[in-house]
Chains A and B, each alone.
Chain A
Amino acid sequence: MTTTTPDIQLPEGKKQVNGLRRIWNTPSLLIGIIMFAVLILLALFIPYLSPYHPTEQNLSAFLQPPSSTHWLGTDQLGRDLFTRLIYAARTDLTIMVLAEIIPFCTGVLLGMLSGYYGKWTDRIIALITDTFIAFPFYLIVIIVAFASGAGERGIYITFILVGWIVFARVVRGLSASFREQEWVASAQTLGLPGSRIILRHLLPNVLPQAVVVLMTDMVGLLVAIVTLGYLGIGIAPPTPDWGTMISDGQPFITTAWWLSAVPGFAVVYTGIALSLLGDGLADIWRKK
């Protein structure tokens, strides 16, 4: 091979801004990360932080207002509210994350298949999505919850059934537009098989947007988990859960309003944290 001397200089102007610095420059992401990290750390270390047990009743100390021993007071069964709140975060956040894993993967995969191959693949997948979209989400959850019995199983099943749709739709659109890009045509000209183009080429390009959608979708899912708990067809007591905590506190809303308000606030807090995370990530990836 002959080699000619490289005579083209690379532009020095465009510096690669490192990841940490980019996070620092995106306030929404930074706040989202901090808010979410506080929640996760509390949930992880609550057994060491609190002397109380979330289900242990103490009927001599029921409905106490916030104090130095019980930071957020106690509920009608004398259980420490703060401890229950954080244990509930454990329950709800775990379900939230677990319930999203399978729908996220199937949704992204089906979306890529549908967008990349188009034609009949796209039509079949579109048919399935449209069918599921025709039914309201809560209707399906309630039917499944009744069919499978109360508890988190209903949420998992429902979400495996319908949770993928939102990812499939976003990823399908992205993939269909990337498909027209010349780097996909180049990969095809090389003779790369479709599976490889999808996994090696499309996936890294659709993933950022899919993760942003995941963040917002998790907010919706969390609200669903809490709603089901509130309706009494979600997490079964005595396992702590924000939804059951809100409904349990309801009879005492005039005397001990914080029993319902505090778990409600926790839902809002988590929602804001996740939304900020999603927004911030979208910002960073757009800037690049």
Chain B
Amino acid sequence: MDLALQVRDLTVRYGGFTALDHIQLDLEQHTTLGLVGESGSGKSTLARVIAGLIAPDEGQILLGSQELRKKRSREQHKKIQMIFQNPDASLNPKHSIRQILSEALLFHRIVDRSQVETRSKELLSRVQLEARSLDKYPHEFSGGQRQRIAIARALSVEPSLLIADEPTSALDVSVQRSVLELFHTLKAELNLTVLFISHDLGVIHAVSDTVAVMRQGKLVEINTKDQFFVRPEHEYSRELLSAVPKMPQ
């Protein structure tokens, strides 16, 4: 299997606080890596470093065989896209959906100007939204719909790696379910490589092939999904798993 992403010895410090402590992580192509951890574990920081939003203090990131440096090329930017947690803040409130999608499409020259409309509609239908949504503004949509639009924007530039940082945590359970189903469909259709971050082990179980656990800036365990949920190696993983409230039998 080819590696889509390699994280080598990545360290991020904020003053005296070490947010990421020598992280080593490989991500195989066309798989989903579920990254779990409690608040403050550094999982979001890791996502932002990989997306190029935070510059690391040490270590390197390889996308395929290319090293991602502090200053990324347009092509490298295009290859990694991210979906964020808060559906209220993930879309520019002053831009229509048409503007949001066409900006991404045109900036990375995915299609000609003449085809932008067609492609935008295709993207919307891919995330199961109606074509007439195009001329609406973010505040006219529900949280789940906004999250779908954010997914459409991320997919519009045809990235090779999609980072999803708690994309369903702020949604109602019924909506969460439909967004997870959407992820499932898209993953199969588009052969995506996904880094999926969540504090919710149920969600991680539903989407991941591999699971990584972070705690206080360190990666404590990486394991296949089947191993992790039944025979976790680290004491902390076990603690996390046994804390999940279960349905009475």
Contacts and interface: CB of A to CB of B under 8 A. Distances in A.
Complex A–B touching at CB under 8 A: yes
Contacts of A188: 52-53
Interface string B63-95: 000000000101011101110111001111111
Nearest to B140: A14
A204 B78 CA distance: 25
Given A10-B141, A189-B51, A183 B90 contact: yes
Contact of B107 (A6, A16, A182, A192): A192
A4 B128 contact: yes
A10 B90 contact: no
A10 B89 contact: no
Q: Interface size class for chain A? A: 20 to 34
Interface stretch (B129-137, B213-221, B223-231, B235-243): B129-137
B132 A10 contact: yes
A6 B81 contact: no
Contact of A191 (B72, B124, B140): B72
A206 to B, nearest CB: 10
A154 B184 CA distance: 67
Contact of A10 (B53, B74, B130): B130
Contacts of B136: 10
Given A10-B140, A205-B94, A189 B89 contact: no
A154 B144 CA distance: 56
Given A14-B140, A183-B89, A205-B94, A189 B82 contact: yes
10 contacts: A3-B122, A4-B128, A8-B145, A8-B148, A183-B93, A186-B82, A188-B53, A189-B81, A192-B107, A201-B92
Interface of B: 48, 51-53, 72, 74, 76-78, 80-82, 84-86, 89-95, 103-104, 107-108, 122, 124-126, 128-133, 136, 139-142, 145, 148, 150, 153-154, 157, 185, 189
